[in-house]
Amino acid sequence: MTESTLLNYTTADFSTKADMEIRIYRWQEQRDKYLPKLQAKGMLRFTITRVWNKEGVFRIGYLFEYKNEKAYKDCQEIWQEIESNMKAEQAVKVFANRGIVLVDDVTPKT
């Protein structure tokens, strides 16, 4: 049996739109430092989304995709370092959800 891709979808709620935008900006500043390290440890994908269907809520979603559970665990030290740097700057409520890919239907591009 082959290992399944591991996904982590985390949402982060901010007090203000400015706080949310600062967080995205801070990641853009640090991404070149951290992405190669994360990819070397098995992270396949990292996406930031703006949750737009919640009126008056300043929420972003993070989609993390890892080769397998080992890759996820291997990346945690790096993510903890990143998060500790960013949490010091602003208050944020974070909710993490983890799952293993069971079905992955993709519509071909036309």
Burial call 29-57: b when 16+ CB within 10 Å, e when fewer? eeeeebeeebeebbbeebeeeeeeeeeee
Record the pTM: 0.79
Q: Are 92 and 10 in contact (CB under 8 A)?
A: no
The closest alpha carbon to 13, from 108, 91, 100, belongs to 91
CATH 3.30.70.100 fits 6-99, yes or no: yes
Task: Tell me the per-residue pLDDT of 24-51, one tens digit each, with 9 for 90 and over.
Answer: 998 999 999 999 999 999 999 999 999 9
Distance CA 61, CA 105 (A): 21
What pLDDT is attached to residue 60? 92
Q: What is the pLDDT along the chain (110 residues), one digit of tens a residue?
A: 346 689 999 999 999 999 999 989 989 999 999 999 999 999 999 999 999 888 888 999 999 999 998 999 999 999 999 888 776 566 778 888 788 777 777 766 76
Report the C-alpha gap between 25 and 92 in whole angstroms. Answer: 15
- Report how far residue 23's alpha carbon sits from residue 29's, in angstroms, rounded to the nearest whole number: 10
Tell me the domain boundaries of the chain. Answer: 6-99
